Amino acid sequence: MEKLVGTITHYFSKISVAVFKITDDEVKVGDTIHIKGKHTDFTQVIASMQVEHDSIGTAKKGDEVGLKVEDAVHEHDEVYRVTE
């Protein structure tokens, strides 16, 4: 099962970091996320998240977090938290 938790707002291709805004619920380091968009569709585990270069363990609704991604993403791609 998947729950929409946010959208990608920026992508820095040279360092493979996406910024995503959490629009619902929360995400934690260790959560599995599914990023879907017009040209994007992959799943990964959140290894780390940062806000203003500070590592955080949990991000809540309204936060914008930086996230290392395993594949290219695009603005407006949707981020889903995968639950069993």
Does the pTM exceed 0.85?
yes
The sign of the torsion formed by the CA atoms of 44, 82, 38, 59 equals: negative
Per-residue pLDDT tens for 26-79? Answer: 999 999 999 999 999 999 999 999 999 899 999 999 999 999 999 999 999 999
Give the tokens for residue 50. Answer: 């940062």
C-beta of residue 78 within 8 angstroms of C-beta of residue 7? yes
Q: Report the amino acid identity of residue 9.
A: T
Structural domain range at position 45: 2-82
Domains of the chain: total: 1
Can you tell me the mean pLDDT for 11-34? 97
C-beta of residue 37 within 8 angstroms of C-beta of residue 78? yes
Can you tell me the mean pLDDT for 6-11? 98
- pLDDT over 90 (residue 25): yes
C-beta of residue 8 within 8 angstroms of C-beta of residue 19? yes
pLDDT of residue 84: 78
Q: The CATH number of the domain where 46 resides is what?
A: 2.40.30.10
